[in-house]
Structure 1
Amino acid sequence: MDIREIQNLIKFVSKSGATEVKLEMDDFKITIKTAPEGGETTYIQQVPVSAALPQASAPQPVAPTAPAAPAAPADEDSKYITVKSPIIGTLYRKAAPDKPVFVEVGSTIAKGDVLCVIEAMKLFNEIESEVSGKIVKILVDDSSPVEFDQPLFLVDPS
């Protein structure tokens, strides 16, 4: 099961109103628990312990839910393109702690430029720009958890 399938499962469970769903496959087990009536949602993935590779046996949270970011005034930001998170994880603005940030406000970007990395399940995924333009606003702090489809950057395409 890949990350997209897991994200779709989480969305489905959230919309269905179920309070707990467990999915067990040959190589992993996922438990999704939701609190009733708008409470916090918890996602847990548990991987079996391998004799060759030690892993934690306790359930580990995949991504805690974060409150939705307040919407910016539509008239101000309507001329900008919003770059959104394609996955759930932790956003990092640098490739490593001792490296420079990928982009800053005012940076000119081209299609395919790396904007940030998102760590999901111990994998670092480079998030590349799908547009060319200039970074107008950075909407997420470094080392912050992000949700699927959460706005990350505003880009002025002109």
Structure 2
Amino acid sequence: MLKIQEIREIIKLIDQSDIEEFSFEHEGSKINLKKRTGFVPVAQQQPIVQQPVTVQPPVQAVVETPAAAPEKVEAKIEGTTNNENYLQVVSPMVGTFYQSPTPDSPAYVQIGSQVKADTVVCIVEAMKLFNEIEAEVDGEIVEVLVKNGELVEYGQPLYLVKPR
């Protein structure tokens, strides 16, 4: 039977790859992963200047074991209401958020920074590995939602981005 940490690692690896669908079966346990593509627009709640955030496509996982019914795990992005639509950059994993590559370096991005889909916006450290997180959308950072050194969860919004 797969441990929850092993399942999380598989989800993280699939999320960071170009693979859209993945199935694995071992000793009576079966896991199916399907990645949704595209960005989910999020409207701003208040007419206040926001800080950066981008959206990663959510991953859906179905875990089946012989003794239990299938479970579904899915990351969802909450919408807000206003005329302006923003996209979120979300954490693809649980870890520690860092705005710069080293403590003495400037932040990768800040409010007002123009980003492209492949622009590195931060690092999330997980299990002693430093994972560069890309914006995955072209636009302008309007809000930073996480403080440097703060623990982040899988799917947690990190930045708001005003798309071009």
Question: TM class by shorter-chain length?
Answer: 0.5 to 0.7
TM-score using structure 2 length: 0.53
Q: Aligned pair 1:148/2:154, yes or no?
A: yes
Alpha-carbon displacement from aligned partner over 1:97-132 (angstroms, at most 9, x marks no partner):
111100001100011000000000000000011100
Aligned residue for 1:91? Answer: 97
- Aligned residue runs from structure 1 range 73-88, under 5 A: 74-76=80-82, 79-88=85-94
Task: Give the drift of 1:89.
Answer: 0.1
Q: Output the TM-score relative to the length of structure 1.
A: 0.55
* Bigger radius of gyration among the two: 1
Q: What is the aligned-residue RMSD (CA, Å)?
A: 2.9
Paired position in structure 1 for 2:144: 138
Matched residue of 2:85: which SS? coil
| Number of matched pairs | 97
Change (3 A) 1:72 1:149: closer
Deviations 1:40-91 (A, max 9, x none): xxxxxxxxxxxxxxxxxxxxxxxxxxxxxxx988113860001110010000
Q: Distance in 2 between matches of 1:77 and 1:154?
A: 15
- Determine if the alignment matches structure 1 residue 128 to structure 2 residue 134: yes
Q: Secondary structure at the match of 1:106?
A: coil
1:4 is displaced (CA, Å) by 8.0
- Percentage identity across paired residues of the two chains: 45
Aligned partner letter, 2:124: I
**CA 1:130 to 1:98, structure 2 compared with 1: closer, same or farther past 3 Å?**
same
**Matched residue, 1:113:** 119
Tell me what 1:7 maps to. 8
Judging by fraction of residues, say which structure has more strand: 2
Q: Shift of the alpha carbon at 1:147?
A: 0.1
Q: Supply the distance in 1 between the matched residues of 2:93 and 2:129 (Cα, whole angstroms).
A: 11
Q: CA deviation at 1:8?
A: 7.1
Divergent runs of 4+, >3 A: 3-6
